Amino acid sequence: MSQAPAFARTVAVIGGGPAGLMAAEVLGAAGCAVTVYDRMPSVGRKFLLAGRGGLNLTHGEPFERVVSRFGEASPALRPALEAFPPDAIRAWAAGLGQETVVGSSGRVFPRAWKASPLLRAWLGRLRSLGVDIRLRHLWTGFDGAGRPLVAGPDGPSEPIRASAALLALGGASWPRLGSDGAWTEILEADGIAVASLAPANCGLHVPWSEPFRARFAGEPLTRVAIRFGGDVARGDPIVTETGLEGGPVYALSAAVRAALDRGSAPRIALDLRPDLPEARLAGSLSRPRLRQSTSTFLRKAAGLSPVAVALLREGPGDPLPVDPAALAARIKGLLLPVTGTDGIERAISSAGGVRREEVDGRFMLRRRPGIFVAGEMIDWDAPTGGYLLSACLATGAAAARGKLDWLRAR
């Protein structure tokens, strides 16, 4: 006799990013007949891009610190994160044959570094759970009966026949990968409050001189600290054509963007030798220069790379001070003006989304009973460090459990 599924219902998940795929896994494992709809020709495109520079899946720091990274959204996300904490994410990846390692900064990566082996194994698991993935299917809203409407490649929007639906449509960064934020207008027209999607974890624009840009765009600045307001972020930012990008820049980008929005002219301060006290640096710079060029002298006496030396000249625009104390002060606090941030199309993530008061504790839309939401489309934000994917996976799983509870109650 064939075994009856534990929980026989047809459910639709719209959006095949990490949040939607995790929801599909939880629902499929509970015995639901799951169909995932995605507008793109393949799922998980942003997840694959995230893996290009090393898939930072989660973070190894103490759990309370992880929760605190979500700021005001922490209380709303806590139950989901508690139910699927970083250790469980690592165990989940290991279950898909992808052991993880903790980097020196505490960030967690698959040993394979990229996302593709994990996604391949994940899709295999979903297939074995009977999850049906329909590509090139665009969600366009709801019909009069509240059923989600999806337009396939061959025809206009049709209502989905499912007991319940879960939306995991992402934010609006890198729109060419599928999540373009077009859903915001549809939900707003439905009376659901959405905080505008804005670039988060994005590069900062610094007005480089043409020679500096031509020579150094693409070069990393290693082991520096960047200060803005009361915050300090350390790491290896990269010089770009338009300014700076990379972990420490992203960490400060929200505060800098807020300052720009207020109309102020923000300046970030770079410490090019954060581990060396200023007095010791000034002492090293007091050595006789002999006949060394400035670059050679600064490389030997202060351990600065060519890009760091060029940046010292770039900053305030005036000649480099000769006085060792003044030179040390510039190396430890190089002020760079910021004129803007990268647009949402180049940002790592987007702030804003479905306002938290619009969803209940199960991630169901209060105004649309039976419709659940998950992932980056909800109004929360976090720095880079694996927190974004952690919350997408955790809310995907939590919304799926919420949906199961809701279906059982009916």
Ligand X SMILES: Cc1cc2nc3c(=O)[nH]c(=O)nc-3n(C[C@H](O)[C@H](O)[C@H](O)COP(=O)(O)OP(=O)(O)OC[C@H]3O[C@@H](n4cnc5c(N)ncnc54)[C@H](O)[C@@H]3O)c2cc1C
Binding part of the chain for ligand X, among 9-17, 119-127, 266-274, 399-407 by CB under 6 A, reads 9-17
Binding part of the chain for ligand X, among 28-36, 50-58, 98-106, 400-408 by CB under 6 A, reads 50-58
Q: How far is the CB of 24 from ligand X (least distance, A)?
A: 11
Identify which of residues 266 and 385 has a Cβ nearer to ligand X in the complex. Answer: 385
With the CA atoms of 310, 315, 319 and 322 taken in that order, what torsion angle do they form, in degrees rounded to the nearest 10?
-80
CA distance linking residue 57 with residue 71, whole number of Å: 19
Cα(first)–Cα(last) distance of the chain, in Å?
28
Q: How far is the CB of 246 from ligand X (least distance, A)?
A: 11
Query: Any contact of residue 49 with ligand X (CB under 6 A)?
Result: yes
Identify which of residues 314 and 381 has a Cβ nearer to ligand X in the complex. Answer: 381
Binding part of the chain for ligand X, among 173-181, 223-231, 331-339, 354-362 by CB under 6 A, reads 173-181
CA distance linking residue 62 with residue 66, whole number of Å: 7
Look at strands 204-205 and 340-341 and give their pairing: antiparallel
Query: Any contact of residue 389 with ligand X (CB under 6 A)?
Result: yes
| Per rule CB under 6 A, count of chain residues that contact ligand X | 38
Which residue among 55, 76, 126, 206 contacts ligand X (CB under 6 A)? 55
Q: How far is the CB of 389 from ligand X (least distance, A)?
A: 3
Cβ burial, residue 2 (10 Å; 0-12/13-18/19+): exposed
Look at strands 194-200 and 349-354 and give their pairing: antiparallel
Which residue among 11, 25, 34, 39 contacts ligand X (CB under 6 A)? 39
Query: Any contact of residue 348 with ligand X (CB under 6 A)?
Result: yes
Query: Any contact of residue 61 with ligand X (CB under 6 A)?
Result: no
Which residue among 38, 342, 358, 381 contacts ligand X (CB under 6 A)? 38
Query: Any contact of residue 334 with ligand X (CB under 6 A)?
Result: no
Gyration radius of the chain's alpha carbons: 24
Cβ burial, residue 155 (10 Å; 0-12/13-18/19+): exposed
Q: How far is the CB of 270 from ligand X (least distance, A)?
A: 23
- Strand order of the β-sheet with 148-151 is 138-142, 148-151, 157-159
Which residue among 123, 194, 256, 388 contacts ligand X (CB under 6 A)? 388
Which uninterrupted H or E stretch holds 407? helix 387-409
Do 374 and 20 contact (CB within 8 A), yes or no? yes
Query: Any contact of residue 173 with ligand X (CB under 6 A)?
Result: yes
Identify which of residues 266 and 396 has a Cβ nearer to ligand X in the complex. Answer: 396
Which residue among 102, 135, 138, 225 contacts ligand X (CB under 6 A)? 138
Query: Any contact of residue 341 with ligand X (CB under 6 A)?
Result: no
Q: Could you tell me the CA-to-CA distances from 195 to 90, 188, 378, 391 in Å, in that order? A: 32, 10, 9, 18
Identify which of residues 179 and 332 has a Cβ nearer to ligand X in the complex. Answer: 179
Close Cβ partners of 56 (under 8 Å, ≥ 6 residues apart): 50, 107, 108, 109, 384, 385, 386, 389
Query: Any contact of residue 174 with ligand X (CB under 6 A)?
Result: yes
Identify which of residues 46 and 227 has a Cβ nearer to ligand X in the complex. Answer: 46
Close Cβ partners of 57 (under 8 Å, ≥ 6 residues apart): 89, 90, 93, 100, 108, 109, 110, 386, 389, 390
- In three-state form (DSSP H/G/I as H, E/B as E, the rest C), the secondary structure along 381-396 is CCCCCCHHHHHHHHHH
Q: How far is the CB of 334 from ligand X (least distance, A)?
A: 27
Chain residues binding ligand X by CB under 6 A are 14-20, 37-40, 43, 45-47, 49-50, 55-56, 138-139, 168-170, 173-174, 178-179, 182-183, 348-349, 375-376, 386, 388-389, 392
